[in-house]
Structure 1
Amino acid sequence: MDVLVVGAGEMGRWFARTVSNAVAFADVDESAARDAADALGERGSVASLDGETRYGLVCVAVPMDAAAEVIETQAGRAQQAVVDVTGQMTGPLAAMARAAPARERVSLHPLFAGESAPGNVAVSTGAGGPATDGVLRELEDAGNTLVEVEPEEHDDAMRTVQGRTHAAILAFALTAEDVPDGLETPVYEELRSLADRVTSGTPRVYGDIQDAFDGAEDIRDAAERLANEEFAEVYEDAGR
């Protein structure tokens, strides 16, 4: 079964590395598609976004705000299955159902950066079958742990797991000042390490997460509580 991966970024490349099929990459940046294909060796090739070639499985690996449109335009090229690794589930699965109602449809969310694989992969199935079952087996064979979840439950969880978490870490990074060596506490060192990790990523990715999961507004509201309410009460609420 040949695979078309639409999007030659980090997650598209991760998916292509993890499955054993021949993979064609299509991307608005043709040089990125070529680099991704070259990294796969003989398994890799480049496809056109406007092409009519069909593939057994189409994997959509684009930013969240582009997912629905890309699914609408590319899902018809799938002979058996459509999957996505965009990071959201409700919207992509709905788009798949509209664009490819007769195909297998699965949304995948690797809960890690590509270079940190393997790890937990959230899985929500719109319509299963042999093609997607094979993909899931290969994900497990690569050492990943599959976490079955309903799409709405996943997207709600990501408001905390990604949206609020990233916003809180960035808020710390924006307010923290350098301190003399030897005056760090364990809590400070852990937060500094997390801030370094988050700020070394790709701004577009973190921006997409904020647009999708709205964490910054929740952190702002929490900061206002800290500033304006009795500290002991807020502290107790935080520990519940």
Structure 2
Amino acid sequence: MPGLTIGDSVPNLQVQTNQGNFKLHDFIGDSWTIIFSHPGDFTPVCTTELGKMAAYVPEFDKREVKLLGLSCDDVKSHNEWIKDIEAYTPIIADPNREIIKQLNMVDPDEKDSSGKQLPSRALHIVGPDHQVKLSFLYPASTGRNMDEVVRALDSLQKAMKHKVATPANWKQGDPVVISPSVSSDQAKEMFPQGFQTVDLPSRKSTCVSPMSETSLVSIYLSMYK
């Protein structure tokens, strides 16, 4: 579905939440922010997701990340439903289904009993520059994996700080890849702990593995020197 995607700036919408009204850019400020939608209050899968969000608040706090939920229910419904999480996460009310369209969070198939569109289980990780850095999109029937959200967030924050990328199945402490935009001389300056050269079977490139300041082994592709 066309709409807000990676690299786009989040629109500076005026929103109503269970914790007051504000503009999105004011809420985000210069922080990392996770904006996530759920199909409806009082529904089983959504209840487990909001519970997991609450359980993971300490992890997001360690990473200085804000949380902002969204559903098409009104504020009164939010306040009745989320007693345990409302202290941690504002939840946007969108009874007119306008905000979910602008944030690209509409499920193409699911509708409520009156035939109105429902939000998908969409999640945008938004950077301090107010741009979408990563998006997850699940159908209403499938709950999110919160460990993967945290893993992806760690990857994004590390990429921004160290100019690296993370390979498949990466997790904290695993090798990372230095960005192709980093030259060999820059890599030596950024990773002064030394290099280990590794030949690839294709012989098309060579990997150079320095240690980063966070003691992570990194891989540099010399074909991009």
Considering fraction of residues, name the structure with more helix: 1
Asked if TM exceeds 0.5, the reply is no
Considering fraction of residues, name the structure with more strand: 2
With structure 1 as the length reference, what TM-score do the two structures score?
A: 0.24
With structure 2 as the length reference, what TM-score do the two structures score?
A: 0.25
